[in-house]
Amino acid sequence: MKQFYIAYKFIFLLALSFLVSCQADQDDQDFSPDLESINSPLVAFVKNSSSKKNLLSSKQFSKTLEYAKIPHRFITGNEYNSAEKIPAQLRVLVFFGTEFFSEQAIKKTIAFIENGGTVVFATLDDSKLLKYLSGIKKEGELTYNTSALGYHFKTDFLPNLKGKKTNNKQTHVGFTRESFKDNISVLVTAFNDDNYPVIVENKLNTGNVILFNKYGELEKQDRGLLFAAILSGLENIAYPIANVATIALDDFPAPLYPILSEPIKSEMGITQKQYYNKIWWPDMLALADKYKLDYSAYVCFDYRNKTEPPFLFSEWELSYSEKNGIKKYTSDILMESFKSNRHELALHGYNHQSLVKTDWPNQKYMELGLKTAKKRWKGSRYGKLPVTYVPPSNTIDSIGFQALQEAFKSIKYNCSLYLGNFKDGGDREFAVEPYNDHFYNFPRISSGYVMDGDEQFNAQSLFLYTGIWNHFIHPDDVYQIKSEDGIAAAGNYEYRNKENYGWKISKDGSPGLLPRFENYLKEIQGVFPLLDFVTVHQGAMNTQNWQKQSYNREICKDFHLVSNVETLENDQYWFNYVKKKNTAKTEHFLKNNNLQFSKTPFLEGFLFQIKTSNAQLKLPPRQLKRSKKLKLYKEYLAFKSKNLFSQENSYNTLTEKYLAEGNVPLAIYHLKQTLKAKKASKKELLDLYTYLGWQGKSPEIWETLHIQLQNFGPSKELINVSISISEKEAFPNKEVAKVWLQLQLNKYPTNTLLQLTYLANFGVYYQDQPISILSITNLLKDSSKHNKTKNLLDELSYNYPSAFLDLIKDLSPCAKNYSFLAENITWLYADNEEYSKAVAWSKCTTINQENIENWRIQTGEFDFLKETNYPKYVEYLLYNKPRQALRELINNKPCTLQLSSSLQQDIAYSFAETGTHRKALEWSHCVEDFYVIDQLIWYQELGNIEAIELVIKSMEDTNPDKTKANVMLIDYYLGEGDIVNAWKWVNDLPNSPTKLKYQDLLNKDVIYASSKNQKYLLKNYPNLFNPK
């Protein structure tokens, strides 16, 4: 964005005289520009810099304009108050609170709207200006709703979402529909309450106002809503988009298992291996051909999640199939298929263990696992090394990025999640990775074959301001159902097939996952027919190029030109919002200029998608309609002068009356209304809290406390009441908690219970002042505060384990008064790799000995295992002190120690790595189905060719490794110059390209063989001789 602003400022200075001449063509009026401090041609954000909520919300708004290359700027409330006028080129003002507005600011805001401007209230505040502009009734009762959540799209506020719902599970808290005038437009209602207006539009003269009716922080997934509100005031302001759609196939290819699982078992009666290989992949290829899709497949070689060497491929090599008369590993066949199609083959990992510090012993092992995958990739000739990467479980940290860069320098693009938690690998932008600038982030926004309301909302929200849809699916999604015994098949994640759909048809006869996904693809290509479906690699490159470009805008009386500052050579796609009344003119203009375009319903008209053959677009202008009669300010003054929402009756009297009648809901209502107009006493607030408790609505007390705070300030009595209530009633959300805890601690900075409450809510000490463990102990000893303190400690340990461990760092293990936390403390220390402390605390818990043994081992204490658990002793040595392990085992007889098969396999490989091949072979014979090729290599190292021949002769012809073994022996004999034995073993090969290759080679060499050998070969193996 810095590049954009620098470029824009430079162009602005160069073109200043041109822009001024453009403005001179406009009507001369009091609305002319002279506000240099705003300096934003199209959109200005006015914010209260002291409000954290303002800052977070404004970030969500501005990020959309950064992507869309629409010039904008932030200004402070003080700057806005002191400015005399608003620039004529400005189209949209976005407010994050207006209580601080001066009368001069109010006047120019109203004039701005009256002259065709658009105002967006990004959040509710308690100013009369917001109420007037957004269409609150002049008289009557102002009522609140605190239970509405999610969105129900009553209009085309986002493309293709009219009539659809999404539940973000966050309450809005705002004015009820009854509080607004009848003539306002409700654009979006709540998911759970169609009568609650979430997004409201109020037209005033030639301008309009859009209100987000919520006292809440706007989140990343809401960006599209915010951008749509801004676009409502930016008609015919085209912006460039990336125009890419990608479909990633996560966990494919992967190991294949010959097991029957539902729902495919009932639908088709085939195994997972057969389903992936014979049904799913052919169906997906057919779908790609039909809808011109380019997939990106993310391979994972192993699902045992081993994080210590050796890293093998036993799962990958579990299944084999026949191709061209040769038996090969089925997963290898799938990998090779990508050489002959247009789809991308990319990396998910050697295994499915996330590359995060907490999941691996060290970075070295991360790299080793990845390098093992790379070795397999190159050795098996899968094709070009991968360029894009999807982290397992979409989780990765800075250590993981380092390991990935070290092992796979070919990988340039990380594809985790657009939403989610940053520390877990999510919440990425289309930008360079903050942890490691070797990588560019190309995050995904949606997943699954069934695009429900939530998935569609997330996708369309992002697509509106970027033109990017990154989607992913898994081949095993169909199996992600709840089994009949209620056990999940989804692990720690949501079911990916929540409705138990089949693949093509479900048990209840409804469409399966495939037709549902196809229907959505058909739908989205109908809405955006110019959308380009490409591989992730191509999409990431296109996006990176689009994201770094800068654009210049020239807005004059006769045209609006948007052009790339750096180059005009490339094709470019654009979005452009046009109102319905101007649609015909726009279509006529585009057709006359031979521009390819499509349109879809959006806001009060259509969203045009336009393709140009170069990176510029020239459109006819849409001038704001200026009003000659400015009368709204007088209306505002009349509105302001009214004693809003007053009643003639005494609310106190009515409250008592309704209580006496047993009508508690009406009593609560009237008491709430009373406390909106007057400063409350302690008794009134506590009475209201009691009445609310009777109705099971005690959390609503915070709404009244907030109103008291806004209207009458933070009095000592109000703060004391809030403390009294917070000791019994949890804060409804973090935002409320922060407001009240800061007020409480400013008043009582040494109150330990308040300090602990703040720490439990936010994971940091208030004003960086640590809390002594002695003061916590004293709270636990106080019977009146014991339970509250206990609950806060539980909450802190669960939500902020690092902060909790810092708090108790000076606490003696198994300290009195902390027995209820002992087990939790033990596990937290273990998770934090402080194993000595974990062992110490475990002495007052019932944690099983196996876990405690593991922690003792992690401290370096392991000799005790030699007597108590010899197999574990061997395992520890092998993976941590391998040389000592081999010295321990060198004189032990293999296959007699009751060790696990996998451990004995690892022992064999460890001996082989040190060159002790005889011992390696002895230990390999303890393992059923040991990889025979490695055994043959070790026999060869020992010079025991006779043993190799015996092993090969004992192998079944159906064994896919037999050809590999034959080839290994042939290569050995050729290297030794023994053409007779080489000839014999080539003769035993099945007919295949491999046999033909060696046949041609031997026919070239046989002419140099002795006459005796030639005669012997001709007599015994004549079929190998070429006719020539």
Tens-place pLDDT, residues 382-402: 999 999 999 999 999 999 999
Given a cut of 50, whether residue 985 has pLDDT beyond it is yes
DSSP string, 89-101: T--EEEEE--TT-
In tens, the pLDDT along 205-230 reads 889 999 999 876 678 999 999 999 99
Contacts of 240 (CB under 8 A, 6+ apart): 68, 69, 546, 549, 551, 562, 564, 572, 573, 574, 615
Once rounded to an integer, what is the mean pLDDT over residues 655-676?
Answer: 81
545-560 average pLDDT score: 87
The one-letter amino acid code at 687 reads D
Structure tokens belonging to residue 635: 């209306």
In terms of pLDDT, which residue wins out, 81 or 51? 81
Q: Which of 359, 431, 443 lies closest to 399 in space, CA to CA?
A: 359
User: Which pair of structure tokens corresponds to residue 144?
Assistant: 């609140």
Residue 777 has pLDDT above 90, yes or no: yes
| Helix (H), strand (E) at residue 212 | strand 207-212
- Residues 210, 622: Cα–Cα separation, whole Å: 20
Neighbour count for residue 84 (Cβ, 10 Å) = 9
For tokens 């302690």, what's the residue? 682
Class of residue 902 by CB neighbours under 10 A (exposed 0-12, middle 13-18, buried 19+): middle
Separation in Å, CA 916 to CA 99, 103, 885, 909:
80, 89, 13, 10
Tokens of 752: 């330990």
Superfamily of domain 244-542: Glycoside hydrolase/deacetylase (3.20.20.370)
**Topology of 651-801 in CATH?**
1.25.40
Q: Across-strand partners of 540?
A: none
Give the strand pairing for 446-447 and 468-473. Answer: parallel
* Mean per-residue pLDDT, 677-688: 89
Helices (H), 292-338: 330-337
Q: Strand, coil or helix: what is 729?
A: coil
Angle at 949 between CA 947 and CA 954, to 5 degrees: 95
What is the pLDDT confidence band of residue 735, given thresholds at 50, 70 and 90?
confident
What's the 3-state SS for 361-430?
A: CCHHHHHHHHHHHHHHHHHCCCCCCCCEECCHHHCECHHHHHHHHHHCCCCCEECCECCCCHHHCCCCCC
Instruction: Break the chain down into helix, strand, coil percent, rounded to 5.
Output: 50, 15, 40
**Residue 967 vs residues 328, 940, 972, 986, 988: alpha-carbon distances, Å:** 15, 13, 9, 8, 10
Give the span between the Cα atoms of 866 and 887, in whole angstroms. 14
pLDDT of residue 18: 31
What the block records as the tokens of 172 is 């809005």
Between 317 and 158, the more confident residue is: 158
Place of tokens 């490691």: 436
For residue range 796-831, what is the model confidence (pLDDT) as tens digits? 998 899 999 999 999 999 998 999 999 999 999 988
Q: Write out pLDDT tens, residues 261-301.
A: 999 999 999 999 999 999 999 999 999 999 999 999 999 99
Mean pLDDT within 570-591? 95
Confidence of residue 629 (pLDDT cuts 50, 70, 90): low
Average pLDDT over residues 23-44: 45
Q: Six-digit token pair at 705? A: 């406390």
- Considering only residues 169 and 355, tell me which one the structure prediction assigns the higher pLDDT: 355
With cut-offs at 50, 70 and 90, classify the pLDDT of residue 652: low
Domain boundaries, the chain: 31-235, 244-542, 550-625, 651-801, 931-1028
Cis amide linkage into residue 263, ω under 30° from 0: yes
Instruction: Determine the pLDDT at residue 37.
Output: 30
Query: Which tokens go with 129?
Result: 């200006």
C-beta of residue 55 within 8 angstroms of C-beta of residue 47: yes
Mean pLDDT, residues 642-653: 46
Other Cβ atoms less than 10 A from the Cβ of 925: the count is 13
Q: What is the mean pLDDT of residues 1003-1019?
A: 88
Q: Are 552 and 563 in contact (CB under 8 A)?
A: yes
Range of weakest confidence among 9-13, 683-687, 860-864: 9-13
Lowest mean pLDDT among 35-44, 489-498, 703-712, 1001-1010: 35-44
Average the pLDDT over 834-843 and give the result.
92
Does residue 12 surpass a pLDDT of 50?
A: no
Residue 557 and residue 20 in contact, taking contact as beta carbons nearer than 8 Å:
no
By three-state DSSP, how is residue 316 classified? helix
CA distance to 190, 548, 555, per residue, from 535 (Å): 37, 20, 37
Cα separation of 622 and 827, whole Å? Answer: 64
Element holding 712 (H helix, E strand): helix 701-712
916-917-919 Cα angle (round to 5)? 75
Residue 872: per-residue pLDDT: 81
What's the confidence (pLDDT) of residue 486?
Answer: 41
**Is the per-residue pLDDT at 1 higher than 80?**
no
Each as own residue / partner, the long-range contacts of residues 274-282 (CB below 8 Å, 24 or more positions apart, any chain) are 275/478, 275/503, 276/252, 276/334, 276/475, 277/321, 277/330, 277/334, 279/503, 280/475, 280/503, 281/252, 281/334, 281/337, 281/475
Q: Are 282 and 582 in contact (CB under 8 A)?
A: no
pTM of the model: 0.67
The greatest distance separating any two alpha carbons of the chain, rounded to the nearest whole angstrom, comes to 126
pLDDT digits (tens, 9 = 90+) for 886-922: 888 888 889 888 888 888 888 998 888 888 999 999 9
What are the helix (H) ranges across 503-612? 513-527, 536-548, 583-592
Q: Is 61 exposed, middle or buried (0-12, 13-18, 19+ CB in 10 A)?
A: buried
pLDDT in tens, 956-973: 888 878 888 888 888 888
**Cα angle: 304, vertex 310, 314; to 5 degrees:** 50
Residue % of the chain over a pLDDT of 70 = 91
SS3 sequence of 748-781 = CCCCHHHHHHHHHHHCCCHHHCCCCHHHHHHHHH
pLDDT at 56 (0 to 100)? 55
Pairing of strands 413-414, 185-189: unpaired
Three-state SS for 187?
strand
Answer yes or no: is pLDDT of 847 > 80: yes
Encode pLDDT of 153-190 as tens digits: 999 999 999 999 999 777 777 889 999 999 999 999 99
Percentage with pLDDT > 90 across the chain: 53
Average pLDDT taken over every residue of the chain: 87
pLDDT at residue number 626: 67
DSSP 3-state assignment of 323?
Answer: strand
pLDDT value of residue 36: 34
> Which token pair is 233?
């005031």
pLDDT band for 556, please (50, 70, 90 cuts).
confident
CB-based burial of residue 142 (10 Å sphere; 0-12 exposed, 13-18 middle, 19+ buried)?
middle
Cα separation, 394 vs 388, in Å, equals: 13
- Does the bond joining 310 to the residue before it have cis omega, within 30 degrees of 0? yes
Rounded Cα–Cα distance for residues 677 and 382 (Å): 74
Q: Which two tokens stand for residue 933?
A: 């090729």
User: 192, 211, 194: which is closest to 147 by C-alpha?
Assistant: 192
Express each pLDDT in 216-265 by its tens digit: 667 899 999 999 999 999 999 999 999 999 999 999 999 988 889 999 99
In the numeric block, which tokens belong to residue 66? 């950064």
Looking only at the bridges linking them, the beta strands covering 596-602 and 605-612 are antiparallel
pLDDT tops 90 at residue 119 = yes
Helices 701-712, 716-726: inter-axial angle, 10-degree rounding: 160
| pLDDT given for residue 13 in this prediction | 30
Identity of the amino acid at 778: N
In this model, does residue 977 exceed pLDDT 50?
A: yes
Contact criterion met (CB below 8 Å) for 590 and 610? yes
Ramachandran area for residue 767 (φ above 0: left; ψ -120 to 50: alpha; else beta): left
Structure tokens at 150: 């999610």
Distances (CA, A) of 171 to 148, 151, 190, 229: 5, 10, 9, 20
pLDDT at 24 over 70: no
- Distance, in Å, from the CA atom of 106 to the CA atom of 385, rounded to the nearest integer, reads 61
Fold topology of 31-235: Rossmann fold (3.40.50)
